[in-house]
Structure 1
Amino acid sequence: LVTICLYFVDNRAIKDSEDKRNTLFQSFSLYKINTTEERDQLQTRYNNLTKERDQLQTRYNNLTTEKGHIQAKLFVIEQHCQEGWRYFDSSLYFLSTKKKSWEESRQDCQGRGADLVIINSKEEQTFLFNLHQRAWIGLTDSVTEETWTWVDGTTLITGYWGTGQPDDSGQEDCAEIYYEQADPVKTWNDDKCSTNHNWICEKVV
């Protein structure tokens, strides 16, 4: 009888021990799950913050580079404006006070690190018209007659010729802008390249 009693006591003790072990295991498993979830959440947050930091660093670097470019551009503009150049829409323009042939005018521009002006828009044309000067521009058909080409080798697409121009009256193969017109977008004229005119240089900044 004692043996039987001891058996049941031991059996209950074993069962209690197993129950405690199972409870402890479940608690540990739940803790492990919660810890893993928390760890994953922290890792995700860390990754997001790292990504945000990298994006901010990239933006800062880009802004620093852009600032450097702007400062350099402003320095160039300031230096040239002190020398008589004028600024408009990312380009500097020099209007001569002397008069030369088209080719000599271009050589002067190139000596200044520029070239005869290339007119790319109605706004630029209007800006140059408002300078109120008759001057050579960087346009010629001296290579191929009636094919007007800019000094950078591109073919003219949109022209701002005066009425009846170009008329090629006596080998007039170079273009000038003049302001004795009411309409600022009808001011080009073809003239002999050997004629002496003022000229306009352009330097992109």
Structure 2
Amino acid sequence: MAEYVNKQVIELNKVTEENRNRATRSVKTETHLSDGRTGVYRLAAVCFGVLCVLQVTLNISLRLAFCTGRVVEGSGMAVQTMRTVLKCPKGWRMLGSSCYFLSTERKTWEESKLDCLARGADLVIINSRQEQKLLYQLHGDADLLVWIGLTDSVNEGTWKWVDGTPLTTSYWKSGKPDHGGTNNKDCVEVNHRDNVLANWNVAPCNHMLHWICEKLQK
């Protein structure tokens, strides 16, 4: 009986040992597999991170290249625009945003108007105080009487510019314009000797004077 019990105990110990060994092998196998999967996951994460960095770098590079191209192109257009705006015909002078031509000869008001039209311009139309002052730069120190593009020849007392627009702001000399008698003073001259903001005078349109043409930049 004792021998039988001992055999059973020995058999039980063998079974227990085998189960323990199997369990150990199972744990090692699972651990190995787990470590392998973890390594794969880590490698995948690193690769994904690298791809993200490369994508961001590529996007930034493309955006910078695009923006740089736009800046260069825009700068070229701006330079070209400035060249176009600042270019005046030979013999003309840029003042403000327009080109002006001061004649060296004298003609009647009507002849002066036709001369300007032949040059693709008009007798000067003064639209602002600034332009009125700028014209003195064109005269310099010369003692000149010049025609401007203002007349009331169509309707006495109704002053209009050569483009048909009515007079709204004026710089008449004191006491002008006058309409007394039959002197036919229907055209306007500028006297450079007078005050810069009060130097318009009426004169007969057949007087022979210098004139100023104006060409607007487009």
TM-score range, shorter chain: 0.7 to 0.9
* Corresponding position of 2:78: 66
Measured in 1, the distance between the counterparts of 2:157 and 2:49 equals 77
CA deviations on 1:5-44 (whole Å, 9 max, x unpaired) are: 4444344333323223323333333443343344333323
Report the TM-score, using the length of structure 1 for normalisation. 0.76
Q: Secondary structure at the match of 2:90?
A: helix
Question: Which of 171, 174, 181 is 1:160 aligned to?
Answer: 171
The one-letter code matched in structure 2 to 1:86 is R
The unaligned stretches of length 5 or more in structure 2 are 1-10
- Distance apart, 1:153 and its partner CA: 4.2
- Distance apart, 1:201 and its partner CA: 0.6
Q: Secondary structure at the match of 1:106?
A: helix
Select the structure of larger CA radius of gyration.
Answer: 2
Measured in 2, the distance between the counterparts of 1:190 and 1:138 equals 12
- Distance apart, 1:58 and its partner CA: 1.1
Question: Which of 191, 198, 206 is 1:178 aligned to?
Answer: 191
| RMSD of Structure 2 on Structure 1 (CA) | 3.0
Within the alignment, does 1:32 sit opposite 2:39 as a pair?
no
* Corresponding position of 1:56: 68
CA deviations on 1:102-129 (whole Å, 9 max, x unpaired) are: 2321111111122111223434322323
Question: Which of 87, 93, 97 is 1:86 aligned to?
Answer: 93
The one-letter code matched in structure 1 to 2:55 is Q
Measured in 2, the distance between the counterparts of 1:33 and 1:147 equals 86
- Distance apart, 1:141 and its partner CA: 4.0
Measured in 2, the distance between the counterparts of 1:60 and 1:21 equals 58
Question: Which of 13, 21, 44 is 2:33 aligned to?
Answer: 21
| Matching of residues 143-154 of structure 1 within 5 Å | 146-154=157-165
Q: Quick check: 140-149 or 36-45, which moved more?
A: 140-149
Whether the 8 Å CA contact 1:129–1:177 is kept in 2: the answer is no
Aligned residues: 199
Question: Which of 97, 103, 106 is 1:96 aligned to?
Answer: 103
The unaligned stretches of length 5 or more in structure 1 are none
Measured in 1, the distance between the counterparts of 2:156 and 2:36 equals 98
Measured in 1, the distance between the counterparts of 2:51 and 2:155 equals 75
- Distance apart, 1:60 and its partner CA: 0.8
